[in-house]
A and B are shown apart, each in its own frame.
Chain A
Amino acid sequence: MPVMNMVQALNQALREEMRRDKRVVVLGEDVGRRGGVFLVTEGLIDEFGEDRVIDTPLSEMGIIGVAIGMALYGLRPVAEIQFIDFVYEAFDQIVSNMAKIRYRSGGMYSVPMVLRSPCCGGIRGGMHHSQSPESYFIHTAGLITVMPSTPYDAKGLLKASIRSEDPVVFLEPKSIYRTIKEDVPDRDYTVPLGRARLVREGDDVTVVTWGAMVYQALEAAKLAEEKHGWSIEVLDLRTLFPFDKDAIVESLEKTERLVIVHEAPKTLGPGAEIGAYIAENHIELLRGPIARVAGFDTPFPLVHEKLYMPNIARIYMALRKVMEY
């Protein structure tokens, strides 16, 4: 089985889906000859030509609006937004159309498209190359929001997203594009949307997280085990909406303690919804308060980003809080 990083796995997912289904097209800025600024679409133009790997003018609103029209007509567009920080120009198209056309048309029309984009911090990208805006998409009924944390999941989730009948926002944590390598099957497989992955088993605390924060959570779990012998379970949500509530509940039945970790700013971050869901429906499972570790409620800073983002110390502090309550 070949060893791949996330970029290579995503590239293979696109290539396989484009071979399998000629309705799949890729469009965006620099996705052709340049292969995308992170090389996710590298080489696709050579195999599939300019009709299916489309370099567009520099306009997120145009890319998403045109992709919606393509999906309405019957294609399966995968639209790349070069950095998710630039997506806001396309917000009206995403919120008013991509998410709502099925509902607006009484189910007569649908928009089976994928918006894929590098997201999140950790590469000293500063304010406009580091954001984690998943809450906006989760809050918008009609969208599915996904974020992989491994090359294997990236390939399987992207393939599932392309085959989804519903529009998917597919966020790629760029800090782990090339740092994590693993065996990725060279064959067709999908990872189902809506299902979490148990990354580490434990009995004392459930840490719900996703994207690059999975690795921070694992480090904090190791530290807590070494220092106190606490046994920490780590759950990678993978699909942020609709999230795998059953996996969280099943884990909490064992651990009775919940910590949620995400890069997105704390206030109304996805942790607010997950925490509220558990508090509203399963308060009896909890021994004490839920803790959240999140990006601070500021714009993403260029300096001290490792302090801004959840890190081993801040996650450990949260573990201590729920264990010592």
Chain B
Amino acid sequence: MEVLEEPPISLDKALKMYRVIDEDGNPVGPEPSIPDKLLIDMYTYMVRARILDSWLLKLQRMGRVALHAPNKGQEAASVGATLALEGRDWLFPSYRELGALLVRGMSEEEILDRALTTIDDPLKGSDFAIYGHRKYNIVPAPVPVANQLPHAVGAALAAKIMGDDIVTMTFFGDGSTSRGDFHAALNFAGVFKAPVVFVNQNNQWAISVPVKRQTAAPTIAVKGVAYGVPGIRVDGNDVLAVYTTALEAVDRARRGEGPTLIEAVTYRLGPHTTADDPDRYRSRSEVEEWERREPIRRFRLYLEKKGILGPGDAEEIYRTWESRIEETVVKVLDKPPLPPEVILEDVYSKPTWNLVEQMRELEESIKLLKELGVEVE
């Protein structure tokens, strides 16, 4: 049996966890050289994602948002990885990546328009908990997990075939790694050296199933190795570790050297979605332990120790964005809803005859409902 001649991909990086700062914000090794402004931007994006996340929870409880998948605790991986992309690159997020959306340039208003399905919803009310926008090269996530992974590979290959200097990045959870799409995507990406970066948010729980029930592999990152895709395991709550690793992976993809699988080890501090009750399957003490490791506090301590944030700066950033986002929420809550006809639009490039007939049926039924005084919303 012939054995591959190429040197094997490092198992070490796939098994050990890379981190730059510890849980109290102290450097554990050499620190990457990153300009102060970018460090403060990183921090600000994470804070914005956290505030927006808590608003989406509130708005769901108020009955204004159909469903929300909380991001709390996972901001570092979302923000850190996405900051490694250029504007022309493409993002294929999952439904739990508010930080990534903000980094790509989507505003809180655009995100809230989406969540509240206002008249300005860019996705025209198609589904809950998903976000995307062509303006920012963000392809809206499908809710069936891992579906977007082969798309990220296909777009990366298309860019390669067309000679475009484009990298794609996709996010997905630990549960996703059990699906066939993960296998197909990693396999194709490895074979064709697609310029794609896979970012796994290993948040320990796929609803109630712990990562140990998803796989007997020692890590998620090690799965890449078998596909010929370097797998790198990082502390997903350490934004500096995620950012530097993603930057290397993006550069590698851009150089034509192929894909990378990054496993960001993190924790979902909230429920799976607003329809979930995590007290049924995990202990409070486990959650409390991860609260102590959460990424924003940790990065703040680092920035303060380095003197990049002065006394009161962190509070100032928080207060500024808290009031800006609150203003945006008030503005968006006041917007009119989408008109009914959107439910029959965008199925095809031009409506087929059955949809034309069904549009007439919809219009007539709306008139009749009004006459009958029946409220359907």
| A interface residues (Cβ-Cβ under 8 A, vs B) | 23, 25, 51-52, 54, 56-57, 59, 61-62, 64-75, 77, 89, 92-93, 96-97, 100-110, 141-142, 144, 164-166, 194, 241-242, 245
Contact = CB atoms under 8 A, between A and B. Distances in A.
B188 A57 contact: yes
Q: Most chain-A CB neighbours within 10 Å: which of B125, B144, B153, B346? A: B346
B82 interface: no
B142 interface: yes
A189 B28 CA distance: 67
B140 interface: yes
A52 B157 CA distance: 11
B149 interface: yes
B122 A75 contact: no
Given A59-B184, A104-B130, 9 more contacts: A56-B191, A59-B183, A67-B154, A69-B154, A70-B158, A70-B161, A96-B142, A100-B142, A106-B342
A65 B133 contact: no
B345 A107 contact: yes
B157 A66 contact: yes
A61 B162 contact: no
Contacts of A69: 150-158, 168
A240 B140 CA distance: 30
Interface string B127-159: 100101110000110101001011111111111
Contact of A165 (B124, B126, B187, B349): B349
B132 A62 contact: no
Given A96-B142, A141-B347, A166-B349, A73 B154 contact: yes
A245 B154 contact: no
Q: Most chain-B CB neighbours within 10 Å: which of A51, A108, A141, A242? A: A108
Nearest to A113: B154
B150 A104 contact: no
Contact of A142 (B90, B127, B347): B347
Nearest to B194: A66
B353 A25 contact: no
A178 B192 CA distance: 34
A109 B90 CA distance: 13
B151 A103 contact: no
B303 to A, nearest CB: 37
B223 to A, nearest CB: 16
Nearest to B127: A104
B180 interface: yes
B184 A106 contact: no
A109 B139 contact: yes
A180 B126 CA distance: 45
A298 B184 CA distance: 31
Contact of B184 (A61, A70, A164, A241): A61
B150 A75 contact: no
A97 B147 contact: yes
Contact of B140 (A71, A105, A144): A105
A66 B346 CA distance: 22
Given A108-B134, A109-B139, A242 B154 contact: no
A136 B347 CA distance: 17
A106 B123 CA distance: 4
Contacts of A61: 150, 180-181, 184
A57 B191 contact: yes
Contacts of A103: 126, 346-347
Contact of B122 (A77, A101, A106): A106
A108 B130 contact: no
Interface in B47-97: 90
Contacts of A165: 349
B23 interface: no
Interface in B79-123: 90, 121-123
Q: Most chain-B CB neighbours within 10 Å: which of A51, A54, A107? A: A107
B352 interface: yes
18 contacts: A51-B161, A57-B184, A61-B184, A65-B151, A65-B153, A66-B157, A70-B158, A72-B154, A73-B159, A77-B154, A93-B181, A96-B147, A102-B346, A104-B130, A106-B125, A107-B345, A164-B349, A241-B352
B185 interface: yes
